[in-house]
Amino acid sequence: MGVPHILDGKDFTLANVDLNRIFVSLLFNTKHGLEELNEEEIKKAQMIDDDIEGAADERAFRLWMNSLNIEDLYITDLYDDVSDGLALLRIIDKLKPGTVNWKKVEMKPKNVFAKGSNCNLVVEYLKVLNIKLVGT
């Protein structure tokens, strides 16, 4: 069956719960009977580069941000994709249109200082929305 040999007939009759559980897990992993998703199905499920093993909070934030359906904004890596502040500013402006003064925003931040300036604007606008940032 392609399952690694860890049990023999005697082990089944002894009813060792842990060994049986391991065997059933290996059996499912080897012969699960599920078909692989094709590319179209993956796109429909919006699971492109979705890190299922990521932290629950990080994944929840990414899914929430992506559910806002902001044009040309898809967060795949929470930390990298929001590091320049632009994505967060777009989200703030989506939540309360007109909040962000786009003239103050560095649209193409070239260095860490420009990115920091955008992130400072994020903090400023979150205060306007009465969102408390603990430890920031």
Q: Tell me the pLDDT tens digit for each residue of 76-131.
A: 888 899 999 999 999 999 999 999 999 999 999 999 999 999 999 999 999 888 88
Q: What is the mean pLDDT of residues 48-57?
A: 59
pTM passes above 0.85: no
Q: What percent of the chain has pLDDT over 70?
A: 84
Q: pLDDT tens, 12-21?
A: 777 778 877 8
**SS3 track for the chain:** CCCCCCCCHHHHHHCCHHHHHHHHHHHHHHCCCCCCCCHHHHHHCCCCCCCCCCCHHHHHHHHHHHHCCCCCCCCCCHHHHCCCCHHHHHHHHHHCCCCCCCCCCCCCCCCHHHHHHHHHHHHHHHHHCCCCCCCC
pLDDT at 94: 92
Task: Note the CATH number of domain 82-136.
Answer: 1.10.418.10
The domain ranges of the chain are 1-34, 35-77, 82-136
Q: What is the pLDDT of residue 1?
A: 64
